[in-house]
Structure 1
Amino acid sequence: MTVHPFIEAEKQGGRNVKRACELLKVSRTAFYARRTAASGPRAARDAELTEKVTKVYEASRGSYGAPRVHAALQREGDRCGHRRAAQLMRQAGLQGRHRRRAHRTTTPDPLAAARPDLVLRDFTPDPVALDARWCGDITYIPTDEGWLYLATVIDIASRRVTGWATADHLRTELASDPLRAARHRRRPNGPVIFHSDRGCQYTSR
């Protein structure tokens, strides 16, 4: 027994279709697709495919895009072209999640002089040894306007950020500005070991 007529009655009565679909455990996309089935065989087939596309999409927790949805339909024996699957997904407002490409921030300089590891891979916190060992790194943050780069300086003893800077570039000042900020903020009394990767920003003169 289909529950679509009940949802249609709710819609005609001016009530919330989304809420009705949730209560009756029916896909809202499938409901609207089935409403168009009366327009002809093509519309009926589209409604049927949309319902199947939605099930595949929801089973993937919203991660599948058109290629994977199409492949799943093919495995189930549904003859549906890739473009048609993509079109039905667009009409239903379904969009897969895209993995962002890895963005490299560490580019070694082959001509840079080798430096000894004075920290000796010991990153154990030590509250009585503040401002003796700092470490730094650069990471990136995707924004609507492009990549934003964040450089930090952390006191290993306390694990606190002592200096930081952001920029839209990876030039040397992105690494040096947090060091200046950390020195100004903490004003260490003695020498400080600074540990970083071998990225060209940190090994530059």
Structure 2
Amino acid sequence: MLKKLQLSKSGYYEYLKRKPCKQKIRKARITERIKKIYKDSKEIYGAPKITEILKKEGEKISEKYVGNIMRENNIKAHYIKPYTITTKDCDFSNKLKNILNRDFNPKAPNQAWCTDITYIWTADEGFVYLTSIMDLYSRKIIAWTLSKTLEVDEVLKCLETAKKRRKSAKPIVIHADYAEEKTIPNFSLFSR
């Protein structure tokens, strides 16, 4: 094998006896330290934060060097998206009454509608809000709106669209589990 590689026996054995240089020893030590810091941070810290910690411990090290070691060892920081508040709490227990009492099977169309808001995360605009209205008799979506804000006007527009499409003039029961997010007087006046 050594002949094919054109190496001498003495050179090969000298290579086996050779001790690792200081640079390799330091790199191995720092690599182990980086892995420990990364694990202790629950895999959140990246090169900048790990470099900061190593510098506080007395290491003279650059962020680029730490980043290179992390890349060589396939270590990547995991981004945790911050929590976003999507609803507002308010006390309105006496303002609205539950007329349906969980009876979601009306006998005819346009007797009871159900409405809900879905929060959709987009990379470009953050949260957008899908308001939809479903006729509980047919189980079909009869109106929907997509908006950038969580304003009561958007819900009222959706309700107006639904009433026009169904040509409904008589009072309709509108069930919503998010009424506390809206301005209660506007919502309840519209549904009469």
The question of whether the paired residues in 2 share the 8 Å contact of 1:153 and 1:182 is answered with: yes
| One-letter amino acid of the counterpart of residue 114, structure 1 | K
Q: Unaligned regions of 5+ residues in structure 1, if any?
A: 1-36, 58-62, 68-79
The question of whether the paired residues in 2 share the 8 Å contact of 1:105 and 1:139 is answered with: no
The question of whether the paired residues in 1 share the 8 Å contact of 2:110 and 2:172 is answered with: yes
**Residue equivalent to 1:142:** 121
Deviation of 1:42 after TM superposition, in Å, equals: 2.5
**Residue equivalent to 2:98:** 117
Q: Unaligned regions of 5+ residues in structure 2, if any?
A: 1-20, 55-62, 187-192
Deviation of 1:113 after TM superposition, in Å, equals: 7.1
Deviation of 1:39 after TM superposition, in Å, equals: 4.7
Q: Deviations over 1:26-49 (max 9, x none)?
A: xxxxxxxxxxx9953222234445
- In structure 2, relative to structure 1, the CA distance for the partners of 1:181 and 1:172 (3 Å cut) is same
Spell out the pairing of 1:124-139 with structure 2 (5 A cutoff).
125=105, 129-139=108-118
Aligned length: 149
C-alpha distance in structure 1 between counterparts of 2:23 and 2:166, whole Å: 73
**Aligned pair 1:83/2:63, yes or no?**
no
Q: How high is the TM-score relative to the length of structure 1?
A: 0.53
Question: 4+ residue runs of structure 1 moved beyond 6 angstroms?
Answer: 51-54
**Aligned pair 1:42/2:12, yes or no?**
no
**Residue equivalent to 1:65:** 44
Q: How high is the TM-score relative to the length of structure 2?
A: 0.56
- Please give the secondary structure, in 1, of the residue aligned with 2:182: helix
| One-letter amino acid of the counterpart of residue 185, structure 2 | S
Q: Which has the larger radius of gyration?
A: 2
| One-letter amino acid of the counterpart of residue 28, structure 2 | A
**Residue equivalent to 1:171:** 151
- In structure 2, relative to structure 1, the CA distance for the partners of 1:38 and 1:192 (3 Å cut) is farther
RMSD, aligned α-carbons: 4.1
C-alpha distance in structure 2 between counterparts of 1:187 and 1:198, whole Å: 24
| One-letter amino acid of the counterpart of residue 167, structure 1 | S
- In structure 2, relative to structure 1, the CA distance for the partners of 1:115 and 1:165 (3 Å cut) is same
Match for residue 151 of structure 1 among 117, 125, 131: 131
The question of whether the paired residues in 1 share the 8 Å contact of 2:43 and 2:76 is answered with: no
C-alpha distance in structure 2 between counterparts of 1:202 and 1:156, whole Å: 24
**Residue equivalent to 1:94:** 76
- Please give the secondary structure, in 2, of the residue aligned with 1:141: strand
Q: Deviations over 1:135-178 (max 9, x none)?
A: 22223222233321222212223333221112222222111111
**Aligned pair 1:199/2:177, yes or no?**
no
Q: Which has the higher helix share?
A: 1
| One-letter amino acid of the counterpart of residue 103, structure 2 | D
Deviation of 1:194 after TM superposition, in Å, equals: 0.7
